[in-house]
Chains A and B, each alone.
Chain A
């Protein structure tokens, strides 16, 4: 495979990004649905699954504890930004640092364990996930136990306030906005106020503007996709494929499998930690440690496997399908049925929410049986 130059997206990746970008318009058309909030979760899980994809899809290592790295990212973000701690760095620095801390955690777990056989490694990562979850629950002085660290800041757009102020001067943006430090930036009390005040504040993310918050997350997802895409066929990416297909042959080509695996582990953990930080910011709290349990790791695995192991487009599609199903469609269906009076809480079978495990399980079993390469089948799998 020839060395490729930098490129942004494939047509398929443009398509899924456009599909995601269209969801706030559903909110506009049907104000009762409000998809932008839940769709942020889809984006968070897409980033998490892209991280897992580096490990499982490209390097062929089964990681059953990816949620642990998500938790590490979320709690790192919480500790770096919450008011009760002395750091209180801004959103963007906290996001970057969370990713770095995640990568370090991945390196720490990977260094002693990556020489293990595939299935043993999977169990070790599972155990690590449980240890992190229990540890977070038990270290109450630092993590606030099941309460979670809160409140956490919403993302801010760099220079957003200044852009808004500039826009308001020319009569496009709002009259007043606040910047990240919370100080009032501009008050343009003039004749244009009545007009400008009615116009939206384009670069301020507050609870009234869920669509903008969603778009910010979507841009971050686009950055991650672009990163992954250019990593995929880089020197390192090709080393990962070589290790996945045949470790012995890779070694003969002067690739050091242990180092390549460790880099994959750290890269996957970093992306998972970024996803965790975004998740915590989205909830305005780290939530309880059970938010990052084994079920989350399996959901991420389902996304990667259903979407198509190794395919970036497939993974993002998988996130839309699986998270859309478990976090949007099923709760909505449950609510709708309760409102309509169909089914009762007395009957466990009549609540669609109760079918989550079954859907995850069936997805894994059926995909393994009939389409082990996923829905979007990009590369020819090498038969062993």
Chain B
């Protein structure tokens, strides 16, 4: 492989992972924009989406899906979309339920009280994922390996789209990620900018009290925000699972930190910021894997996070704002 080919390969990895990170980052940034809460549990909602997808795959029969004769069949695209939608809806409603039960009673409490409660929810979800991983299903590898990483079956055909003799590999998974994440992002942008509820969201983000005075049902807006954020997280978890072919009960922590870093990098509260930030973090990770060392990649991401928070807390696209007293 030449230098350019190595670089191009990392760009492909980076873009694909970055699109997934961007989807998760949107969940952080939307919730932060509306209720000023770092939804620490978002990463673990994402984990549970992955576990639901693996359960569904197991229930449908992993062996049939893995059959090489049917791989590449159009039914696999149908399965993929089905998983994305199911996991998305599940995570969306889970997110709304968490908001109703835990965050809503604390809405007027100090910010740090809310953050600690969110961390608590995150730990509860991690434990649920651990138990889920011990479910007596073949795809989970039996009950005694509850904490182990689970293999996620290859749903899409694994061959190189650029031809078998090309050194740069572009797989069907990469295309699938673009085919699913880009429409979701466009849809979200249109929804927020064009619909009545979207206008309500923008108004609530600007000033919740004024929004309520203007007759906006802010409770409904907040629920909608958690629903959409959760949906995007759930969709991302399926994309993550088919791309990395593995899930584990603690994957939400790292993915969540990457996504939060992306949201902060883009400017927290800004939707295009989260998308750009996600892609940038994906690229930074890929380049660090290649040109520094894989084991230092997490350190690089956290260093980026700290440097941005210290030197440019408003991120790339965020507005400079003073802390409300």
Contact A357 B113 (CB under 8 A): no
Give A120's nearest chain B residue, CB to CB.
B309
Q: Which of A120, A298, A362, A368 has the most CB of B within 10 A?
A: A368
What chain A residues lie within 8 Å of B144 (beta carbons)? Answer: 345-346
In the complex, whether A198 has a CB less than 8 A from a CB of chain B is no
What residues of B have a CB within 8 angstroms of the CB of A298 in the complex? 119, 123
Contact A116 B313 (CB under 8 A): yes
Tell which of A119, A137, A294, A355 touches B115, judged by Cβ atoms closer than 8 Å: A119
Chain A residue at smallest Cβ distance from B297: A134
How distant is B215 from chain A, measured CB to nearest CB, in Å? 28
Task: Give the CA-CA distance A174 to B121 in the complex, in Å.
Answer: 55
Asked if A118 and B112 make an inter-chain contact with CB atoms under 8 angstroms apart, the answer reads yes
CB <8 Å contact, B123 and A113: no
Cα of A357 to Cα of B128 in the assembled complex, Å: 9
CB-CB under 8 A from A360, the residues of chain B are 120, 123
Q: Which of A77-85, A125-133, A177-185, A328-336 contacts B (4 or more CB under 8 A)?
A: A125-133
- Tell me the complex Cα distance, A362–B293, Å: 38
| Nearest CB of chain B from residue A104's CB, rounded to whole Å | 18
Q: Which of B5-13, B237-245, B298-306 contacts A (4 or more CB under 8 A)?
A: B298-306
A361 touches B131 (CB 8 A): no
- Chain A residue numbers with a CB within 8 Å of B325 are 248
B143, A361: Cβ atoms closer than 8 Å: no
> Is the beta-carbon distance between B133 and A384 smaller than 8 angstroms?
no
Contact with A along B103-130 (1 / 0, CB 8 A): 0011001111111110111111111101
List chain A residues, Cβ under 8 A from B306: 113, 124, 127-128, 131
Say whether B187 faces chain A, with CB atoms less than 8 Å apart. Answer: no
Residue B257 at the chain A interface, CB threshold 8 Å: yes
A:226-255 near B, CB below 8 Å: 248
A372 (CB) vs chain B CBs: closest residue: B113
Q: With A298-B119, A345-B144 known to touch, is A384 a contact of B299 (CB < 8 Å)? A: no
**Chain A residues numbered 325-384 whose CB sits less than 8 Å from any CB in chain B:** 345-349, 354-358, 360-366, 368-369, 372, 384
Quick one: which of A138, A346, A362, A364 contacts B296, CB cutoff 8 A?
Answer: A138
Counting CB contacts under 8 A, is B323 at the interface?
Answer: yes
Chain A to chain B contacts (Cβ below 8 Å), 26 pairs = A116-B313, A119-B111, A119-B112, A123-B260, A123-B305, A127-B303, A131-B306, A138-B293, A348-B130, A348-B131, A348-B133, A348-B146, A354-B146, A357-B123, A357-B124, A358-B124, A358-B128, A361-B119, A361-B123, A361-B125, A362-B120, A364-B119, A364-B120, A365-B124, A368-B113, A368-B116
| Shortest Cβ-Cβ A-B pairs, 8 listed | A348-B134, A364-B120, A361-B123, A361-B124, A365-B120, A357-B127, A358-B127, A348-B146
Interface residues of B (CB under 8 A from A): 38, 102, 105-106, 109-117, 119-128, 130-131, 133-134, 142-144, 146, 253, 257, 260, 264, 293, 295-296, 298-299, 302-303, 305-306, 309-310, 313, 323, 325
Interface residues, chain A, with chain B CB atoms under 8 Å away = 60, 62, 64, 112-113, 116-120, 122-124, 126-128, 130-131, 134-135, 137-138, 248, 294, 298, 301, 305, 345-349, 354-358, 360-366, 368-369, 372, 384
Known contacts A64-B119, A358-B127, A361-B123; can you find 12 more A-B pairs with CB under 8 A?
A62-B116, A119-B38, A119-B115, A120-B309, A298-B119, A349-B134, A360-B120, A362-B120, A365-B102, A365-B120, A365-B121, A366-B120
